[in-house]
Amino acid sequence: MAIEMKVPSVGESVTEVTIASWVKKDGDLVKMDEVICELESDKATFELPAEADGVLRIVGKEGDTLSIGAVICRIEEADGKAAPKAEAAPAPAPVAAAPAAAAESKTIEITVPAVGESISEVTVSSWLKKTGDTVGLDEIICELESDKATFELPSPQAGTLTVVANEGDVVPIGGVLAKLVVGAAAAQSSVPLEAAPAAPAAAASETSDSYATGHPSPAAAKVLAEKGISPAAVQGTGVGGRITKDDAQKASATPAPAPEAPKAAASAPAAPATGTGNRVSRREKMSSLRKTIARRLVAVKSETAMLTTFNEVDMKPIMDLRKQYKDKFKEVHGVGLGFMSFFTKACSIALQDFPVVNAFIDGDEIVYNDFTDISIAVSAPRGLVVPVIRNAEKMSFSDIESEVVRLAVKARDNKLTIEEMTGGTFTITNGGIFGSMLSTPIINAPQSAILGMHNIVERPVAINGQVEIRPIMYVALSYDHRTIDGKDSVSFLVRVKQLLEDPMRMLLQV
């Protein structure tokens, strides 16, 4: 009997997918939950696992676009179905013990949980447990990454773990990450491992060492590549000497030149011919997270009528105020007085004066918000994240500064939750801390506007007919012209400028 596999539902707004590539060929023998092909939607790329053991019969070809529910392939029963099962068995002793325990045990699947409305897939960052390990209830077994946050996955029950998805794999929401044997079989499975002869165990260890030693996990490889560090310069602390993500994050770039020296010496004879020394290029596959971010940024550019308006702010009043009160402010409130609280407060007031800037389009309707949930762009180790300061219009300067510090620390530690990064109505990004003089920031969809801060530079300006040197910052407002007219965008930015150049207006709400 053949089983028809159909295109699964991958999101409310997704009606069709494209077959990106077939991992298996027509006629191949496949196992249940083994990845057979990759599918692409307009929002994400995800893998399709086999629903049963058998022989694969391909219906849709690479490049075909299929609607949700359409037949993509069939899996037929095969006489050789027992062969893969025998191959999967690690030793005869556990197989013999399995029938006795089968009646008192069960195997459950650990799947990717729903982590947010707009998230359709996650990447397996690292496994904290490996196949064969015994895990307890709620014990953390792996780390998962989405395009918005990193989070830990606890074990739903106590049992023996079998890993299905490898580090670096992209798994759709609801996809199988691992299997867990609970009950008697979990207890039985540990007996043969302890009672196994020393020689086979040693051989397995040697095999593991020969493969894993000095090899980074996918997540570790990405960190090392960003730092420009060779894996040969890092000591792995993982299983069998494998380089973990934590090893990569702790690694220093200083050891990197040492292993490069022999390569330079080996290529020395070629140097006189070229006169340029080593010229190395390398290719790295774009991560699924980066591809998702890229698609969303392109979608914003193509689906919105985005424009940017500019202005400049004289920062002297704020800088004088900070200089006068920063020590007393920190003494009383326990946090420093930074620029972000002034900009957040100014924007929250201006958003209430111009509610259309705080609105967004939903289908044929415009949704207006009476509250101001302001997203703050923060640079984190894994990229730019945008946590949200909620009800900023009701917060004091000290409340805003405390919240900014809290969210920034969580961002640096990769501990931000999905809830802390969803639901913003307006975004502020500060490229000035990296030296940016001027930019046109891209809207953080589905929001309608984003404010860009830039560096502060002393420039000559005319003040009451006199030329003075003042600390000036350029500010930019990118907005969706479908919702916001030019008058509202310019007026909003002028209002922000007025509030920043006369901070007393924010205290008096005038």
Instruction: Give me the catalytic one of 246, 399, 485, 488.
Output: 485
CA geometry: angle 342, 346, 352, nearest 5 deg: 155
Q: Which residues pair with 307 in a beta bridge?
A: 479
- What does the DSSP assignment read for 268-301? GGGHHHHSS--------PPPHHHHHHHHHHHHHH
Q: What is the DSSP letter of 216?
A: B
Instruction: Give me the catalytic one of 64, 370, 481, 488.
Output: 481
Res 288: pLDDT? 58
Q: Is 492 helix (H, G, I), strand (E, B) or coil?
A: helix
- Render pLDDT for 266-303 as a digit per residue (tens, 0 to 9): 444 544 555 566 888 888 877 655 776 778 788 888 88
Q: Is 77 helix (H, G, I), strand (E, B) or coil?
A: coil
Res 255: pLDDT? 44
Q: Is 183 helix (H, G, I), strand (E, B) or coil?
A: strand
Pure H helices in 166-236:
184-195, 198-212, 218-227
The amino acid occupying position 489 is: S
**Which portions of the chain are predicted below pLDDT 50?**
80-103, 189-211, 255-268, 270-271
User: Does 303-508 match 213-265 at the fold level?
Assistant: no
CA dist list (Å): 120 to 41, 143, 294, 377, 486: 10, 17, 15, 22, 36
Q: Determine the topology of domain 90-196 in CATH.
A: OB fold (Dihydrolipoamide Acetyltransferase, E2P) (2.40.50)
Domain ranges of the chain: 1-88, 90-196, 213-265, 303-508
CB neighbourhood size of 3 (10 A): 14
Architecture of domain 213-265: Irregular (4.10)
Taking phi first (over 0 means left), then psi (-120 to 50 degrees means alpha), and beta for anything else, what does residue 214 get? Answer: left
Q: Is 371 helix (H, G, I), strand (E, B) or coil?
A: coil
354 token code pair:
């111009």
Q: Is 481 a catalytic residue?
A: yes
Strands of the 16-22 sheet, one edge to the other: 45-49, 35-40, 16-22, 65-67
199 token code pair:
């020689």
Separation between Cα atoms, residue 76 and residue 78, nearest integer Å = 6
Separation between Cα atoms, residue 215 and residue 234, nearest integer Å = 10
Torsion of CA 132, 133, 134, 139, to 10 degrees: -140
CB neighbourhood size of 159 (10 A): 26
Strands of the 150-154 sheet, one edge to the other: 150-154, 140-145, 121-127, 170-172
Q: Determine the topology of domain 1-88 in CATH.
A: OB fold (Dihydrolipoamide Acetyltransferase, E2P) (2.40.50)
Residue of 185, 37, 48 whose CA lies nearest to 108 = 185
Q: Is 128 helix (H, G, I), strand (E, B) or coil?
A: coil
Peptide bond into 446 cis (omega under 30): yes
378 token code pair:
């923060």
- Strand ranges for 413-454 from DSSP E: 426-430, 449-453
Residue of 115, 109, 37, 126 whose CA lies nearest to 73 = 37
Contact criterion met (CB below 8 Å) for 17 and 6: no
Separation between Cα atoms, residue 194 and residue 211, nearest integer Å = 23
Tell me which of 3.40.50.2300, 3.10.450.50, 3.30.559.10, 3.40.50.300 is the CATH number of domain 303-508.
3.30.559.10
Q: Is 156 helix (H, G, I), strand (E, B) or coil?
A: coil
Separation between Cα atoms, residue 76 and residue 50, nearest integer Å = 11
67 token code pair:
């609607």
Sign, Cα dihedral of 240, 242, 244, 250? positive
> Buried b / exposed e across 184-208, counting CB within 10 Å, b at 16+?
bbbbbbeebeeeeeeeeeeeeeeee
CB neighbourhood size of 148 (10 A): 23
Torsion of CA 94, 96, 99, 104, to 10 degrees: -40
